[in-house]
Amino acid sequence: MTWIWYPADFEIWLGNRFNNRRTERGAMFPPFWKQDSHWVTVEFSREYDLEQPETIRIYAEGRYNFMFDGKLQFGEPKEWLVPAGRHKLNIKVHNQATPPALFIEGETIQSDDTWRVTHEDKIWIDENGVAHGSGIYLKPGYWHFDTPSNRPSLFQLAREEWQAVATHVLTPQPPDGHSEEKNTTLLVDFGKETMGYIVLNSIKGHGIVELYYGESKAEALDKEYCETLDKLEVEEGPRFVVPESKAFRFVQVVLPKGMAVDSISMEYEYLPQDPLRSGSFECSDEELNRIWQIGAYTMDLTTREFMMDGIKRDRWTWSGDAIQSYLMNYYLRFDSETVKRTIRQLRGKDPVTSHVNTILDYTFYWFKSVYDYYQYTGDRDFVVEMYPRMLTLMDYCLGRLFDGWAIGQPDDWVFIDWVDFPMHKRGIVCFEQILFSKSLETMQLCKDLVGPLSDLHLSNLHLSYPNVNYGAMAERLKKKIDETFWSSADLAYLHALEPTESPEKLILNTQVNKFASMFAILYGYADEKRQQEILHHVMQNPNVPAITTPYMRFYELAALCQLGMHDDVLKEIKTYWGGMLREGATTFWEKYNPEMHGDEHLTMYGRPYGKSLCHAWGASPVFLLGRYYLGIEPTSPGYASWQAKPHLSGLEWMRGTVPTPFGPIRIEVTPHKVCITTPKKIGKGTLFIADKKVKIEAGQTKTIDY
């Protein structure tokens, strides 16, 4: 029994609220992508065969009507007695402001995912008054709104009162009693990066209070350049909570003359998680433990209504950031609901009029994120839900190809990465082709998984390319990529085919960078021989420009682990993420350059505090340690089969848990012994350690010497 709505309507609506809440220096900063809206009128229906009569109670978000056994009833009945026998219920709900939603409370008649929902009946009436229709009936969306009063439109994250660890009075009231002459300025420190609502306690006097937020002390102290601030009218009273949440560790609070507060605290805002479902990591290296913990806290802060990029400045949903959050999440909270919400929100509604976040590569990550989700969770239902929206998004991509290649059209953003070396993003970029090829493979996998859509459903999607063989197209593309971009001289993928002044002529841009090559490894496009060539001539080649964002380091380090370079990667984790810790990080950053010093670290995008100090993509050790050191991953969807390939890489010991749909797998590794505890009902596992290959059954604790 739960509130139900048209699939993705809640996410689309919540996404608008979420993405429009970003501010920059106190100004609303809405996203620059297409924003959709929920369907404003929706019909819910279900047939029941009752043994006993029962009374149902009807709750709706919106105006509604109620049709019982095909007959429309007066008004908006709150209760209805359903007699025994077979009966059909149809309820239409209309709501312009928030998604139409329904809650039915009865003994056996209850709103849940066995109901069906449609947004457009396409009914028409013939001259005899007979209705003809062709609606597409789908499973409804739902989440955890399981009581009538817990309405979807009232959704809020949870809050918890946190005290400051220190409050410094910067400009105290003068002792001579002329207190009304001067402002009081306080600097409040919450001890670590956090997000929530500043609270003023026991307020005396009233006036405009100014708050300058800082992820760093320097930012909070800099009224002119801090990224977020508030100026709020505050009345005398016991407690004032600022209306919008902000991210900060420090806050500079300026009270006007004549005003005072007893203390400043905050309401920490968070998405509750089930601790029993969580992953963990511990080892003999304290720095690594701290890196994992800071990574986990970074993930918890950025896992909210949706998986967001960064909590201070950014506060939007980005597909490239999100797919990494999803992967970290599979090793941390296994919070499938937030993954699904984010995937739905990023996709939005048809028509597709731009790439996801306007970015070509982000569209391709979006496709992959759906199948990644299926691989970790085994949740076919979600693929079934998303598949029609995958079809229309791919149709959009196919309509924008150039000679079969995926290119950035003039209104597309080709992102790849923020790079510190000259790199063009024009023309046919090899990296994008590899992502596009993976997207086509993903389409084929999902098509095979979902099976054919009904003709009616398919025709309602209005595809320009309804009969594409995605798998064959991927194969052709991979061959073309090899022929065009693989250089047997460089033993590397070359960067791009670039346009010249003549639109007909393209020239090869022979730059070698890591992007295409490392994705060729991650996506299994390079055979053993080529993998080694890429390792030596690209990944370990000092002449190839280094990757400097944690965003692409995620893939770089994963690729190196795929190539067996676990020891190097572990050192790199300690150097790079350990480096942030040594700079005092309490969450991981958007970007880290070890050669910078002090407040230089805070700068980005030409702004003194432009860098996000709590950025989801900074938390990749959470993924890397679970996937490549504890070494656990599903080898078929939803852990129907799985493997453990632990790598100590010089650690004395490590232990941890990796969540799965069946519960956590626990693993403990020492140099000569592995102990694995598996949940009941999980599929068959295989432990690979040294030269051993050991079968692991469900619901057992097994110790293996090696």
Q: Nearest Cα to 15, choosing from 308, 244, 252?
A: 308
Could you tell me which stretch among 15-23, 276-284, 585-593, 642-650 binds a second copy (CB under 8 A)?
Answer: 15-23
Minimum distance of a second copy from residue 58's CB (angstroms)? 13
Q: Provide the minimum distance between the beta carbon of 94 and a second copy in the complex, in angstroms, as a whole number.
A: 5
To a second copy, the closest distance from the beta carbon of 133 in angstroms equals 8
The CA radius of gyration of the chain, in Å to the nearest whole number, is: 28
Smallest CA-to-CA distance from 261 within 239, 230, 287, 285 is with: 239
Query: Does the protein bind a second copy through residue 353 (CB under 8 A)?
Result: yes
Q: Which member of 17, 78, 204, 290 binds a second copy (CB under 8 A)?
A: 17
Residue 579 within binding range of a second copy, rule CB under 8 A:
no
Verify binding: residue 454, a second copy, rule CB under 8 A: no
Q: Which of 121, 282, 572, 583 binds a second copy (CB under 8 A)?
A: 121
Least separation, in Å, of the C-beta of 182 and a second copy? 23
One residue of 147, 201, 464, 703 binding a second copy per CB under 8 A:
464
> Does 359 contact a second copy by CB under 8 A?
yes
Asked if 210 interacts with a second copy (CB under 8 A), we say no
Which of 25, 413, 89 has its CA nearest to residue 227? 25
Q: What are phi and psi of 699, to 5 degrees?
A: 60, 40
Structure tokens at 583: 């700079």
Instruction: Please choose, out of 105-113, 354-362, 371-379, 492-500, the segment that lies near a second copy by the rule CB under 8 A.
Output: 354-362
Q: Are 82 and 54 in contact (CB under 8 A)?
A: yes
**Binding residue for a second copy, selected from 53, 84, 97, 636, defined by CB under 8 A:** 97
Name the residue among 31, 100, 46 with its Cα closest to residue 314: 31
Which residue, chain included where needed, has tokens 């050669």? 595
Give yes or no for residue 487 binding a second copy (CB under 8 A): no
Pick the closest to residue 631 from 611, 643, 645 (CA basis): 645
**Which among 592, 555, 563, 564 has a CA at the least distance from the CA of 577?**
592
| Tokens of residue 10, six digits | 């809640």
Which segment (28-36, 46-54, 278-286, 589-597) binds a second copy by CB under 8 A? 28-36
- CA 317 – CA 309 distance, rounded (Å): 6
358 is an interface residue for a second copy by CB under 8 A: yes
Among residue numbers 297 through 316, which ones bind a second copy (CB under 8 A)? none
User: Pairing relation of β-strands 79-82 and 85-94?
Assistant: unpaired
Binding of residue 460 to a second copy (CB under 8 A): yes
Determine if 466 is a binding residue for a second copy (CB under 8 A): no
| Sites for a second copy among residues 61-80 (CB under 8 A) | 63-67, 72-76
495 versus 647: smaller Cβ distance to a second copy = 495
Q: Which residues pair with 666 in a beta bridge?
A: 657, 677
Nearer to a second copy, 232 or 449 (CB): 232
Residue with tokens 């993976």: 438
Q: Which amino acid is at 225?
A: Y
413 to 452: interface string for a second copy, x by CB under 8 A: x----xx---------------------------------
If the CB atoms of residues 253 and 288 are measured against a second copy, the closer one turns out to be 253
Question: Rounded to the nearest 5°, which phi and psi values hold at 653?
Answer: -160, 160
36 vs 269 by CB, closer to a second copy:
36
Q: CA–CA separation, 491 vs 516, rounded Å?
A: 12
Full DSSP string of 24-35 = ETTEE---SS--
Binding mask 226-265 for a second copy (x = CB under 8 A): ---x-x----------------------------------
Determine if 88 is a binding residue for a second copy (CB under 8 A): no
Nearer to a second copy, 463 or 492 (CB): 463
Candidates 103-111, 372-380, 460-468, 569-577 — which segment interacts with a second copy by CB under 8 A? 460-468
Which residue's CB is nearer to a second copy, number 80 or number 374? 80
Minimum distance of a second copy from residue 37's CB (angstroms):
4
Q: Select the residue interacting with a second copy from 6, 11, 16, 561 (CB under 8 A).
A: 16
Q: How far is the CB of 551 from a second copy (least distance, A)?
A: 13
Ramachandran region, residue 379 (left: φ > 0; alpha: ψ -120 to 50; beta: rest): beta
Size of the site for a second copy (CB under 8 A): 73
Residue 516 contacts by C-beta under 8 Å, 6 or more apart in sequence? 430, 431, 433, 434, 485, 493, 495
What part of residues 389-418 is at the interface with a second copy (CB under 8 A)?
396, 399, 409-411, 413, 418
3-state DSSP helix/strand/coil % of the chain, to nearest 5: 30, 30, 40
CA distance 160 to 682: 36
Q: How far apart are CA 200 and CA 233, in angstroms?
A: 12
Task: Name the one residue in this structure whose structure tokens are 């500043």.
Answer: 198
Q: Counting contacts by CB under 8 A, is residue 127 touching a second copy?
A: yes
Tell me the residue type at 406. Answer: A
CA torsion through residues 419, 423, 427, 432, sign? negative
Residue 137 sits in the site that holds a second copy (CB under 8 A): no
| Closer residue to a second copy in complex, CB, 478/495 | 495
Question: Is the Cβ of residue 117 or residue 667 nearer to a second copy in the bound state?
Answer: 117
Counting Cβ atoms within 10 Å, is residue 678 exposed (0-12), middle (13-18) or buried (19+)?
Answer: buried
Complex with a second copy: residue 163 or 353, whichever CB lies closer: 353
Q: Is residue 256 within 8 Å of residue 244, measured between CB atoms?
A: no
Q: Does 693 bind a second copy (CB under 8 A)?
A: no
Near a second copy by CB under 8 A, which window of 22-30, 107-115, 515-523, 532-540?
22-30
For 632, the token pair is 């656990």
The structure tokens listed for 529 are: 């021989």
CA dihedral 601, 415, 521, 614 (to 10 degrees): 30
Minimum distance of a second copy from residue 138's CB (angstroms): 15
- Cβ proximity to a second copy: between 64 and 642 the closer is 64
Among 1, 29, 267, 476, binds a second copy (CB under 8 A): 29
- Restricting to residues 600-619, name those near a second copy by CB under 8 A: 605-607
Closest contact distance (angstroms) between CB of 237 and a second copy is 23
Query: 16 or 369: whose CB is closer to a second copy?
Result: 16
- Scanning the structure block, which residue is given the tokens 């300025």? 185
128 binds a second copy (CB under 8 A): yes
Please tell me whether residue 120 binds a second copy under the rule CB under 8 A. Answer: yes
All residues at 6 or more sequence positions from 573 whose CB lies less than 8 Å from its CB, including other chains: 288, 291, 557, 621, 624, 625
- By CB under 8 A, name the one of 49, 81, 132, 597 that touches a second copy: 132
Strand partners, 87: 48
d(CA 446, CA 188): 51
Q: Which residues pair with 237 in a beta bridge?
A: 203
Site string for a second copy, 30-49 (x = CB under 8 A): xxxxxx-xxxxx--------
CB of 514 to a second copy, least distance (A): 17
